[in-house]
Amino acid sequence: MTADPLILGFDTSAAHCAAALLCGGQVLASQAEEMGRGQAERLVPLLEEVLHSAGAGWPDLARIGVGVGPGNFTGIRISVACARGLALSLGIPAIGVSTFDAIHHAHPDALAAVPAPRDHVYLCAPQGRPRHMPLSEVSGVPVYAPPPAALAVAIAAVAAGRSAPFAAPAPMYIKPADAAPSRDVPPVMLP
């Protein structure tokens, strides 16, 4: 293997499973699959395929970059949990990278806009705070969702450029959860 560190980046924040392997700023391998469900079962095999296609293995990794959102609640948690587990087992850092940071990596001055459910959008200006807004209130702003493979490459590139100390990656939540406790009355338990 080369002297430059290998960085694995991956993301499941939307209806996809994507991964990329970088070395010295060069993409050695990348792969993405569109999928509405099944990311939890597909992620690790996909990561192994990306590593194998570059002639690398788990012990060769120097760090992991993981997409932390915004996006699908369950998908983000799948990636973050996987990254934290891999980092712990391999003894390397896992670095959380937002989709906004990934977009700003390629377009530093852009207003990053990521599609959100129910005709909404997540917006973030460079160095700004993320917002969740109705799409109808955002005129003239193109909503850009990077292709999954490009997103994984950007996540790895951002992770490669981050300096220690590293906090454990955590999901990025911009708005409160829209789930609510059940309104059903629990059954009466007999003594």
Residues written for the chain: 191
Cβ partners under 8 Å of residue 177, min gap 6 = 73
Longest Cα–Cα distance in the chain:
68
Asked if residue 175 has pLDDT above 90, the reply is no
Q: What is the pLDDT of residues 133-162, one digit of tens each?
A: 998 898 777 777 789 999 999 999 999 999
Residue 189 has pLDDT above 90, yes or no: no
pTM above 0.85, yes or no: yes
Residue 176 — pLDDT band, cuts 50, 70, 90?
confident
Query: Does the structure show a pLDDT above 50 at 1?
Result: no
pLDDT at 179: 67
- Calpha distance 46→51 (Å, rounded): 9
Whole-angstrom Cα distance, residue 163 to residue 179?
Answer: 36
Digit-coded pLDDT (tens) for 82-129: 999 999 999 999 999 999 999 999 889 888 989 888 899 999 999 899
Please determine, for residue 178, whether its predicted confidence score (pLDDT) is greater than 70. Answer: no
Max mean pLDDT among 27-41, 135-149, 163-177 falls in 27-41
Average per-residue pLDDT for the chain:
92
Domains and CATH numbers, the chain: 6-108+146-161 (3.30.420.40)
SS (H, E, C) 73-140: HHHHHHHHHHHHHHHHHHCCCEEEECHHHHHHHHCCCCCEEEEECCCEEEEECCCCCCEEEEHHHCCC
If DSSP codes are grouped into helix, strand and coil, which group holds residue 183? coil
- Nearest C-alpha neighbor of 45 from the set 73, 21, 17, 69: 17
